[in-house]
Amino acid sequence: MEGMPSIAVVGATGAVGRECLSILEARRFPHRSIRLLASARSAGARVRFAGEERAVEELGPRSFEGIDLAFFAAGAGVAREFVPRATAAGSIVIDKSSAFRADPWAVLAIPEVNRAALRGVARGSVVAVPNCSTIILLVAIEPLRRFGVERVVVSTYQAASGAGAQAMQELEDQTRDVLAGRPATPRVFAEPCAFNVFSHDSAIDPATGLNAEEAKFTSETRRLWGESGEGGGGGVRINATCVRVPVMRGHSESVCLTLGRAVREVEVRAALTAGESIEVVDERGGNRFPTPLRASGGDQVLVGRIRADVTQGVEPGGACRGWNLFVSGDQLRLGAALTAVKIAEELVGVESKQSTNRT
């Protein structure tokens, strides 16, 4: 794509859509025009962007005429209905939903992980943004791929905001109710989310026992890393357990890796410190490590609790194939909107003029 693109943001009034607009503005993404799109009930709302109040238009069949680049920050149902209309109009679509992640004709991309996949993306194409938990994991461990990553055991601690604005409101309401001595009444989730931890709310495969969130780790990682894993071999092995926690914003993950060769702690730390979009937060003396609160509002994955997994054996000199990490990331930013904007920057061929990284 050459020149200043015309852009559209679908779902402009939602949590991810508003985050996308904020990041586009902060990073001074080059564009000649912008169109804000949402459902009929949000049409006519005013959203501030680049110092101006802008009207939100109703998403419709002709919304993508003249649009070069369309950001979809809506659900899978909206994406399945309107992405084909956008691509037919010649737009490149960057879709945050789960609608097209598994489709071989769509590009699945995280710039920090498989930037090369974005070269040569043509008009009328779809670039799918992976699941937020996958993004946080893979950005964190990408620097360690130089040592080979054979197996990953990951347990997630996922915030209510991953299920949308209504889930965030439910956590707030239930917290007030419980503290006032009233029962927590679930509406969005099947289980009370205040003062509780429960299995991720995605559908469970009765044959495997995996929920959809857990299955995405393997399928998306192998595709992003270019590993087929057909027949049970040739791909990274991932064992995931995904849960919701009573956190408003920011996902965390406990990660245990098996590397292809034994390495020393100094090598692991050096690789992580040099990694793209990573901030190492690992102060053993002060017990200061990644938390969702520290990650919230930031554009980096926080990585800490860096330590050898001695159950996998330690060689003389301290080298080990097994390594533990604890990571936190803002799933609305790095796990969604920021990754979409970074993809767009790659497609347009520009670097952001202002970093939004928080230190």
The question of whether 200 is a catalytic residue gets the answer no
The question of whether 251 is a catalytic residue gets the answer yes
The CA-to-CA distance between both ends of the chain, in Å, stands at 32
Alpha helices in 202-274 (DSSP H): 212-224, 265-273
Q: Which amino acid is at 69?
A: L
Active-site pick, 193, 200, 242, 251: 251
Residue for token pair 């998403």: 59
Give DSSP secondary structure letters for 47-102: EEETTEEEEPEEP-TTTTTT-SEEEE-S-HHHHHHHHHHHHHTTPEEEE-SSTTTT
Active-site pick, 132, 193, 242, 320: 132
The DSSP H or E segment spanning 168 is helix 165-179
Selection from 43, 48, 54 nearest residue 11 by Cα: 43
Cα-based angle 142, 279, 331 (whole degrees, multiple of 5): 75
CB 205 within 8 A of CB 215: yes
Which residues are marked as active site?
132, 251
